[in-house]
Amino acid sequence: VAEGPIKVRVAEGEALVCGGRCGRGREFVVVAERAVTIEAVDRLRLQVWEGPGSRIERAEPTIPAEWRQVEEMMASGGVAMLVGPVDSGKTFMATYLANRLLERGVRVAVVDSDVGQSSIGPPATISMAVVGGPIMALSDLEPKASYFVGSTTPSGHLLPMVVGTKRLVDVALREAEAVIVDTTGMVYGGPARALKLYKAEAVRPDVVVLLERQGELAHLAGQLEALGVRVLRLPASRWVKPRGRAERRALRGRAFQHHFKGRGVQEVEVDLSRVRLVGAFIGTGYVADELKGDLEAVLGAPVDYCERIPEGVVVVVDGRPQLRPALDVLRQRFGEVVKVLRRGFERGLLVGLLDAEGLLLEVGVLRSLDLARRVARVAAPLRSVEGASALKLGSIRLNEEFEEVERLEPGWL
Ligand SMILES: Nc1ncnc2c1ncn2[C@@H]1O[C@H](COP(=O)(O)OP(=O)(O)O)[C@@H](O)[C@H]1O
Ligand SMILES: [Mg+2]
């Protein structure tokens, strides 16, 4: 196991680097905070240049022998879904398996459905990539297609998680014979169980690989098998390096920054009469200026904008409205769904610009949403919004530095 920053040269023999073959004379660099496994195929001599804080450790094999079973199973193609708790080595296994299959001449694609610790594409999205050559990490891959979930946790977003994964697996199967699906570490509790169960039911993978330490995924194994989904229970490697909650959060913060800052953000104007708002109540009704006066009287605040929806009303107010009796009054009058939003509510919301197939063109940060004039301003690494058909509102907020600063209740808009 080699932890960066480190440069390695295969001086003699042959190595498998994260499962990818590296012959004599080959050199590779492991950047800081990354680690790779190096297995000797035969007698192996390495020349290394160690950077500050790097580590190279000689260990007994860190890849459990049982892992070969997945490789054999997938050698003729198919879909494998990798499931396990946080820090069970799912992403590493995806990398390893991709390299092993590639070497056997199989065309491989990876679907990364971990919206929190995204490897491919930015967080809050599910992405698909085709593996063109040996990789040291999934994050080396460029997304080929993505689906916008809009949150860095699947909680409250189970539908887009399931639909997005299924759609990208379908896209991947057009490009590759073997598709590896990486997943979030959510495996315990009601929503987690539902997510894993229905994701597997939607995708119907050829095999669900459960990475466990002590049989802790028996609850999933039993249910999946009963539903006719093949399950392979494999031991997690003892070499998994656990990441704390704080580290995961930091990684996520940086992932957004990397995505936005590294690619030159621009502010683009989106014409909402051509690009529809989706995923929220707002922007789906009809403007009802005639209600403004009444609403102002009930709410005790100036109304910027209001919109009638079949279930109720959406109002944007300037200042602090009196919600106490007002909400009840408005519910009685218009219907159960009364959304009272304060001016500026949109600032910093993560959004997805989608194409006419509902797939993601680019993620962005909403700067302003002027519903009366029907324009939105979005900061995104995008030159033009041509081809955009929908603007999907997410439920996290980023600050000017593209750090996640707020998680909003799903359905709040
Ligand atoms: N079989 C293994 N051998 C060596 N290191 C591993 C192995 N599996 C995982 N790791 C390391 O442990 C860390 C966490 O693994 P990861 O695959 O990201 O876990 P998960 O995706 O389940 O959260 C990574 O740094 C990874 O390189
Ligand atoms: Mg992972």
Tens digit of each residue's pLDDT (9 = 90 or more) over 229-264:
999 999 999 888 888 788 887 777 788 888 898 888
Q: Is 382 in the pocket of ligand 1 (CB under 6 A)?
A: no
Burial of residue 191, with CB atoms counted within 10 A of its CB: 0-12 exposed, 13-18 middle, 19 or more buried? middle
**Cα(113) to centroid(ligand 2), Å:** 9
**Cα(353) to centroid(ligand 2), Å:** 26
Which of 177-191, 244-258, 347-361, 393-407 is predicted least confidently? 244-258
pLDDT at 188 over 90: yes
Q: Is 395 in the pocket of ligand 1 (CB under 6 A)?
A: no
Burial of residue 223, with CB atoms counted within 10 A of its CB: 0-12 exposed, 13-18 middle, 19 or more buried? middle
Q: Which ligand is nearest to the CA of 137?
A: 1
Picking from 364, 360, 413, the residue whose alpha carbon sits closest to that of residue 389 is 360
Q: Which residues surround ligand 2, an ion (CB under 5 A)?
A: 90-91, 117
Residue nearest to atom 10 of ligand 1 (CA): 240
Q: Which residues of 380-406 are buried (b: 16+ CB within 10 A; e: fewer)?
A: bbbeebeebbbbbbbbbbbeeebebee
**Cα(195) to centroid(ligand 1), Å:** 22
pLDDT given at position 212? 95
Q: Which amino acid is at 288?
A: A
β-strands 337-342, 6-12 pairing: unpaired
**Cα(186) to centroid(ligand 2), Å:** 11
pLDDT at 364 over 90: yes
Residue nearest to atom 3 of ligand 1 (CA): 62
Q: Which amino acid is at 36?
A: V
pLDDT, average across residues 26-50: 92
Using only C-alpha atoms, what is the Rg of the chain?
A: 24
Q: Is 89 in the pocket of ligand 1 (CB under 6 A)?
A: yes
**Cα(64) to centroid(ligand 1), Å:** 13
**Cα(65) to centroid(ligand 1), Å:** 16
pLDDT at 125 over 80: yes
pLDDT, average across residues 367-375: 95
Q: Is 86 in the pocket of ligand 1 (CB under 6 A)?
A: yes
Residue nearest to atom 4 of ligand 1 (CA): 239
Q: Which of 136, 240, 247, 249 to mutate to test the pocket of ligand 1 (most atoms within 8 A of CB)?
A: 240
Q: Is 238 in the pocket of ligand 1 (CB under 6 A)?
A: no
Q: Which ligand is nearest to the CA of 88?
A: 1
pTM greater than 0.85 (yes/no): yes
Residue 230 · residue 208 · CB < 8 Å: yes
Which of 125-129, 317-321, 356-360 is predicted least confidently? 317-321
Q: Where does the pLDDT of residue 203 fall: very low under 50, low under 70, confident under 90, or very high at 90 and above?
A: very high
